[in-house]
């Protein structure tokens, strides 16, 4: 229940910020163009808070936090007094109307730059993308790539950390091939580029990690048998395990590595497991009954809620991604550009069928993402906001009549024909656009519920 509330709160905060940014873009440019803004609302439905500003605009927060709107004076909607007609949206020059409509998505892109800039200013520890394991017979293995190499670029996209690697791999969904450039610590200064055949690549973003789907894992320091963390109210805590304990044996078998413990726990859901541990020089016997959880394909495994101590990272494998204001801004521009490129690529593949519709995500998945990133800290949450903000901006630019992109399409036609698109055509367009948006939302919600 607490996880649900956390995800919901994170979702409301994230969406509230992004909607406010989007609508403020419309609002700010409308005011600069002399248009009277009657209402600025975050959310729909019943009003929770409302205030009339000195500028005459009613500022409102409503109950349903799934969007917002800016209500401008418009003769097509209400009767407008003669003295205010010049300040009605529909009577402004075409370029001003276009600027007002485009300002919402542009604000989302600018906010993504700001969020990335702030994240780079705060700083975060990153890991060099050094390959730790390569599975025999995998796509990576067939290309001749071995453990120990550092990934430098994927299809020309620089990969300074694992986040960049994952984004670059995901962008190749539906492609026949991609190139991987890497360096080997045994050949300093030499970079090798290999072509990967993706014709047999089966990648489900909901079930697999991008890395594992290609048959490799990041380098991680070896695990010890010492306990680093015990989750609250977990099976491990109930058994009496404490941070600092060292595992000695499980079910009478001496342990040599942590994975042996994992295999026994996962293979015995809700069944008693005998543990022998070393605590402050004393041997202690414990009984652990793993909790059970269902994973993909209905399989049930056990889990204990305990994690081990890692050995120290080799020097140079970890580094701080923290920059001054100017460099951080340059990095933020580049990062936002990468997100825009990835989003455009995936949107195109969605419409061409290279990406299946079951990959669409709705508010439930977004809420989970918001909650998870918020748990990881402010920098991760800022990265999530940047990603969703870019997505919101691009979606709103799609040429569907109910979206900003649809309005811009009508304005483009008006600019060519020198006369506005007829209200009847616009009305038909709005109905078709609404039907398409509702259909996509229904698919996204269905996908969300199927992932629960």
Q: Mind telling me the catalytic residues?
A: 23
* 124 φ, ψ (degrees, to nearest 5): -155, 150
Distance CA 211, CA 203 (A): 10
And the tokens for 374?
A: 């918020």
Tell me whether residue 278 is exposed, middle or buried, using C-beta atoms within 10 angstroms of its C-beta: 0 to 12, 13 to 18, 19 or more: middle
DSSP run (H or E) holding 107: helix 94-122
Distance CA 68, CA 219 (A): 45
Which is nearest to 144 in space by CA: 194, 212, 179?
A: 194
- C-alpha of 195 from chain center: 28
Q: At what angle do helices 378-396 and 2-32 cross, to 10 degrees?
A: 50
Question: Dihedral (C-alpha) 125, 392, 102, 67: value to the nearest 10 degrees?
Answer: -120
| Cβ atoms 76, 296 nearer than 8 A | no
Q: At what angle do helices 162-170 and 325-352 cross, to 10 degrees?
A: 20
| DSSP category for residue 80 | -
| Cβ atoms 56, 49 nearer than 8 A | no
Residue keyed to tokens 């541990």: 277
| Cβ atoms 320, 328 nearer than 8 A | no
| Cβ atoms 253, 218 nearer than 8 A | no
CA angle 85, 87, 92 (to 5 degrees): 100
Distance CA 234, CA 251 (A): 20
And the tokens for 389?
A: 């903000």
């Amino acid at each position: 229940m607490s996880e649900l509330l956390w995800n919901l709160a994170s979702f409301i905060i994230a969406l509230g910020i992004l909607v406010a940014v989007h609508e403020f873009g419309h609002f700010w440019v409308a005011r600069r163009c002399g248009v009277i803004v009657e209402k600025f609302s975050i959310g729909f439905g019943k009003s929770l808070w409302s205030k009339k500003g000195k500028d005459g605009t009613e500022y409102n927060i409503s109950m349903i936090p799934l969007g917002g709107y800016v209500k401008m004076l418009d003769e097509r909607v209400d009767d407008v007094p003669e003295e205010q007609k010049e300040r009605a949206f529909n009577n402004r020059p075409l370029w001003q109307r276009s600027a007002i409509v485009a300002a919402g998505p542009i604000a989302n892109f600018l906010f993504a730059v700001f969020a990335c800039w702030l994240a780079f200013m705060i700083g975060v520890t990153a890991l060099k993308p050094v390959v730790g394991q390569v599975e025999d017979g995998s796509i990576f293995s067939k290309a001749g790539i071995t453990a120990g190499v550092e990934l430098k670029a994927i299809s020309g996209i620089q990969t300074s950390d694992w986040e960049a690697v994952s984004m670059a791999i995901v962008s190749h969904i539906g492609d026949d091939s991609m190139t991987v450039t890497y360096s080997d610590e045994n050949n300093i200064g030499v970079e090798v580029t290999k072509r990967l055949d993706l014709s047999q690549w089966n990648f489900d973003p909901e079930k697999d990690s991008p890395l594992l789907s290609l048959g490799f894992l990041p380098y991680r320091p070896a695990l010890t048998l010492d306990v680093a963390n015990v989750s609250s109210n977990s099976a491990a805590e109930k058994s009496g395990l404490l941070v600092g304990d060292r595992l000695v044996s499980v079910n009478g078998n001496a342990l040599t590595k942590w994975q042996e413990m994992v295999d026994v726990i996962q293979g015995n859901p809700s069944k008693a497991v005998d543990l022998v541990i070393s605590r402050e020089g004393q041997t202690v016997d414990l009984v652990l009954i793993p909790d059970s959880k269902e994973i993909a394909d209905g399989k049930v495994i056990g889990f204990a809620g305990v994690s081990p101590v890692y050995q120290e990272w080799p020097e140079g494998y970890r580094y701080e991604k923290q920059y001054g204001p100017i460099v951080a801004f340059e990095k933020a521009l580049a990062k936002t550009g990468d997100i825009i490129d990835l989003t455009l690529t995936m949107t195109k593949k969605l419409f061409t069928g290279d990406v299946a519709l079951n990959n669409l995500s709705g508010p439930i998945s977004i809420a989970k993402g918001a909650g998870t990133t918020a748990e990881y800290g402010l920098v991760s949450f800022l990265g999530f906001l940047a990603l969703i903000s870019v997505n919101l901006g691009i979606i709103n630019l799609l040429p569907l009549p109910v979206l900003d992109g649809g309005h811009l399409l009508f304005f483009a036609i008006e600019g060519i024909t020198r006369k506005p698109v007829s209200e009847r055509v616009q009305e038909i367009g709005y109905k078709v656009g609404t039907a398409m948006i509702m259909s996509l939302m229904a698919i996204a919600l269905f996908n969300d519920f199927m992932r629960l």
